[in-house]
Chain A
Amino acid sequence: MTLPNGWEMVVGLEVHTELKTATKMFCGCANAFGSEPNTNICPVCLGLPGSLPVLNKMAVELAMAIGVALHCTIAPSTFHRKNYFYPDMPKDFQISQYDLPINSRGYLDLPDGSQISVERAHLEEDTGKSTHLGGTGRIHGADRSMVDYNRSGVPLVEIVSGPDIRSAAQARAYASELRGILIATGASDGRMEEGSMRFDANVSVRKSGEPFGTRCEIKNLNSLRSLQRAIDYEALRQIEVLEEGGSIRQETRHWDENRGETSTMRVKEEAEDYRYFREPDLVELSPDQAWQDRVRAALPPMPAARRSRLEELLGDPSDAQRDAIGTVVELDLDGFVISAAQAKADVAIALARSANEIAADIENVAKLSTEAFVATVLMEQKGELSATQAKKVLGVLLESGGDPSTIAKALGFEQMGADALGDLVAKCIEENPSEWQRYREGDDKLSQFFIGQIMKLTKGQANGKSVIAELQQRK
């Protein structure tokens, strides 16, 4: 979306990601989504008097992996108490990192070549989950709130970008790339629908080249689509206010997905004073160089590198193939394409089948073995299966596994003999003399016409490449 009248938006994102640890940040309770309410709680995460937090080493390790992946500096850091009164935090404070975060000053490169700075990526604990009963379901109007502390104390990393983002689409691209990186590091499962990755967006507008305007923070966006829509809406709202001679008040705003608009949640004022102070029950965290090096060495390839690898395998990918590569890497399917390439199978076919057929049935991907996939691609490429048939074979493989040639036979996908196909092609040529004439005179596009005719006659069983070979023989 382009903003009107020379306005420019300035956006910074705060991304919260839960870490994929076995236990919580400061106690041995299980970090598990979907448990029965209040079954993973103990004196520490309930904030009972006398309980003491002890830092989870794995949480630190995953935070460092995020820092390395985002090119951050890892530095000695400390923990602070962020004090506030709200029933989702039974201690009445959240342990977070304040002036000395574990990771700072990094960046993230986006696929379009732009770079977004990362100011910090610090450790903190998640809060409990409250459900508001009665009234309309929105918080105002609820009669009472029910609290589940299973999530209280789950380790989080908050990644704060610089104010470098200039469009909602770029914000989405950043969030999407960051999600890929978090999943690749093994730090997060990236499941936005389960709230394990959540976004807050700071949005302001200005005329190009002018100083930053007053910003509003949109809280708790939990899908890429909401993020993009909310930012576009908010920027336009601010422009409208300013063009009518009004001014923007610094405030926190709530995004209503159904109505597609943001509304004031609370105005930033004195209540924002969280009285941060050092958490006296935790000591300095100072990972030594050897530990940092181990984390760095263990880091698997990031999405950008994985995309480059597929691009190299393809040679000179088209835009559609670039999109397919993005999908395949995002869904962690690039191993299929690479295995196909290693078996000297056609990379373009392997990419298309991964980005389309496998991606469409991603929840069943575990049933599809790499060997069966590569064998199917090879059969398609040799003409033993048409594209349509290969897709059907893959469908069965994803449904129930098995051997592709057995499945092809069972589906009646016997390879059409060269003679039978030749006869059909000859018949087609006879019935379409003017098209044949133009094809012979060099109008290659007409090969598609003949393929279409043959497909019709064979109900999609023929192989396009074999048809072209037959046509060329007769030219």
Chain B
Amino acid sequence: MSSPLSREEVAKVAKLARLRITDAELEQFTEQLGQILEHAHDMTSLNLADVEPTGHPFGLINVMRDDVVRPSLDRDAVLAEAPASEDGRFAVPRIMGEAP
């Protein structure tokens, strides 16, 4: 049977995730991801007419907290973990485009 997923689709997903993969990996992931999709596809053989779609496995709703301020982290400790910082800010390589 034909693969449920094309190489092009996998290449696109990799590009969106900023992953550089080799041709061999592209081959391998296309097959592996295809198997996962096929497995999920098994569900179509079941009669699920009376089953409600599951949004979340826990079945909980409205999990919320009160609007009360809690202490934040110490800035110096946080910035010490960053590759670079300046004037209390994270320094990052220059940005080529504007935010989406």
A interface with B by C-beta (< 8 Å): 21-23, 27-30, 36-43, 46, 54-60, 76, 78, 83-88, 127, 130-132, 134-135, 139-140, 142-149, 219, 254, 265-266, 270-275, 278, 280, 282-287
Which interface residue of A23, A149, A272 has the most chain B CB atoms within 10 A? A23
* A86–B98 CA distance with the chains assembled, in angstroms: 9
Q: How many residues of chain B get a CB closer than 8 Å to chain A's CBs?
A: 40
Min distance, Cβ A212 to any Cβ of chain B, angstroms: 23
Checking B55, B67, B73 against A21 with a beta-carbon cut-off of 8 angstroms, the contacting residue is B67
Contact of B69 among A22, A266, A275 (CB under 8 A): A22
Residues of B with C-beta under 8 A to A76: 61
**Secondary structure class of chain A's binding surface, majority of residues:** loop
**Mask of B83-94 contacts with A, CB within 8 angstroms, 1/0:** 000111111111
CB <8 Å contact, B64 and A23: no
| CB–CB B67/A58 < 8 A | yes
Q: Chain B contacts of A85 at CB under 8 A? A: 18
Q: A39-B72, A85-B18, A86-B100 are in contact. Are A285 and B62 (CB under 8 A)?
A: yes
Closest to A59 in B: B67
**Can you list 30 A-B pairs with a CB-CB distance of less than 8 A?**
A22-B69, A36-B75, A38-B89, A40-B72, A41-B73, A42-B72, A42-B73, A46-B78, A54-B63, A55-B63, A56-B64, A60-B64, A86-B100, A88-B99, A130-B99, A135-B94, A139-B98, A144-B94, A145-B91, A145-B94, A145-B95, A146-B90, A147-B90, A219-B98, A266-B97, A278-B56, A283-B58, A283-B62, A285-B62, A287-B62
Whether, in the assembled complex, B49 has its beta carbon less than 8 Å from a beta carbon of chain A, the answer is no
Bound Cα distance from A46 to B75, whole angstroms? 12
Q: How far apart are A35's CB and chain B's nearest CB, in angstroms?
A: 9
What's the Cα separation between A88 and B97 when bound, in Å?
12
Check B20 for interface membership: any CB of A closer than 8 A: no
With beta carbons under 8 angstroms apart, the residue of A56, A139, A271, A280 that contacts B95 is: A139
Known contacts A29-B69, A38-B78, A78-B55: A54-B98 contact under CB 8 Å: no
Tell me how far the C-beta of B25 lies from the nearest C-beta in chain A, rounded to whole angstroms: 20
Q: Is B68 an interface residue (CB 8 A)?
A: yes
B66 sits at the interface (CB 8 A): yes
Shortest C-beta distance, A330 to chain B (Å), equals 27
Across the interface, name the chain A residue whose C-beta is closest to B58: A283
Given the complex, which residues of A lie within 8 Å of B70, measured CB to CB? 23, 27-29, 42
Bound CA–CA A147/B92 (angstroms): 7
Query: In the complex the two chains form, what is the Cα distance from A56 to B99 in whole Å?
Result: 25
C-alpha gap A87/B89 in the complex (Å): 12
Chain B residues with CB under 8 Å of A270's CB are: 12, 15-16
Residue of A nearest to B67 (CB): A58
Find out whether the CB atom of B96 lies under 8 angstroms from the CB atom of A140. yes
Pick from A38, A59, A144, A148 the residue with the most CB of B within 10 Å. Answer: A38
List, in ascending order, chain B residues with CB within 8 A of A42's CB.
Answer: 70, 72-73
Give 10 nearest A-B pairs by CB, closest first.
Answer: A28-B70, A58-B67, A146-B89, A57-B64, A37-B88, A147-B90, A87-B92, A283-B60, A54-B65, A284-B61
